[in-house]
Structure 1
């Protein structure tokens, strides 16, 4: 343990949490989850995303609870890591929306030529088909059936966190695959233009 003075009003609870005390963790969670959710809503403008970030943060705190021995200002620590996590989620969502928008923009040009349109759909289908079976199923249930994480988790007998992680991995994989293919096709087209 550090020789630094303890300045946080929650220091005793944090020490108990760091030692694995679930009751102390529950007390800390109950004390902060609503305030943190309100703070995150101001950042994300989404109740669902704010709730997800709160759950992610407290899960992360529990998993890495030994780090709490060195935390001197828990409230500040909590707000900083949650803000960073929320901003990362917003960036990831923006990237996914940008990719979707690019595909939609490209579809506007493709309406002139059905071949290009079908090629773009095939590219997206190809990326989805390359996903591992359970990730693909989670992705399709989320994007096509518009089910929430909890609904998918219940149907597939998975934890909500597993569903969320599968969606993150599959979205990143699809985005990466589509971008690589688009870059290659742009490069090939540019070769023919010169």
Structure 2
């Protein structure tokens, strides 16, 4: 009961423009609100930003704040709403970025880099033993499953799986060794 009265007193001071009251409220609830925001977002940086934004809005709209009963509930609800808004905004930004990436036509530089990468990859693949090379190409370039490759090459699925694992390890080793 005393805490609620103290909180309501702090709000009344904040409404009058007392920055020390806001600071006191911030210190009192910051950690618990950050933990709650982290629970909602799973990101420390974002949770701290959300809580800071909640307190900034309280200060900016201090004259209009209407907390009559439980300030703690009010703060947690404000944090929840702010977190949801941040996540919606972040999702929209990511969608816009992915649209930009998909819609962007490759320029001459991109085409050159792609051709260079393709050439390096071809050089690496040519180092593989013939059977391993065939399995790798059928899987990665033609899109065949291990079972389909096994049927095509008259091998067991397990052999195909083992050869793919060895091919990937060998390609990584070759790439590191020759920096291709």
TM range, smaller chain: 0.5 to 0.7
Matched position secondary structure for 2:4: coil
Identify which of 39, 42, 46 aligns with 2:43: 46
1:66 aligns with 2:79: no
Return the TM-score normalized by structure 2: 0.53
After TM superposition, give the deviation of residue 84 of structure 1 in Å: 0.9
Identify which of 92, 98, 103 aligns with 2:100: 103
Counterpart CA distance in 2 for 1:71 and 1:49 is 29
Alpha-carbon contact 1:18-1:65 (below 8 Å) kept: yes
2:85 maps to 88
Give runs of ≥4 in structure 1 deviating > 4 Å: none
Counterpart CA distance in 1 for 2:67 and 2:27 is 22
1:13 aligns with 2:10: yes
1:160 maps to none
Alpha-carbon contact 2:50-2:82 (below 8 Å) kept: yes
Alpha-carbon contact 2:33-2:76 (below 8 Å) kept: yes
What count of residue pairs does the alignment treat as equivalent? 108
Instruction: Look at both structures and tell me which one has the larger radius of gyration over its CA atoms.
Output: 2
Structure 2 gaps of 5+ residues are 112-180
* Two-structure CA RMSD over aligned residues (Å): 2.6
Residue by residue, what CA displacement relative to the aligned partner does 1:65-101 show, whole Å, maximum 9, x if unpaired?
1233544211111111111111111111111111212
Residue by residue, what CA displacement relative to the aligned partner does 1:97-123 show, whole Å, maximum 9, x if unpaired?
11212222334xx45xx58x89xxxxx
Counterpart CA distance in 2 for 1:70 and 1:100 is 40
1:26 maps to 23
Structure 1 gaps of 5+ residues are 1-6, 119-194
Alpha-carbon contact 1:13-1:28 (below 8 Å) kept: yes
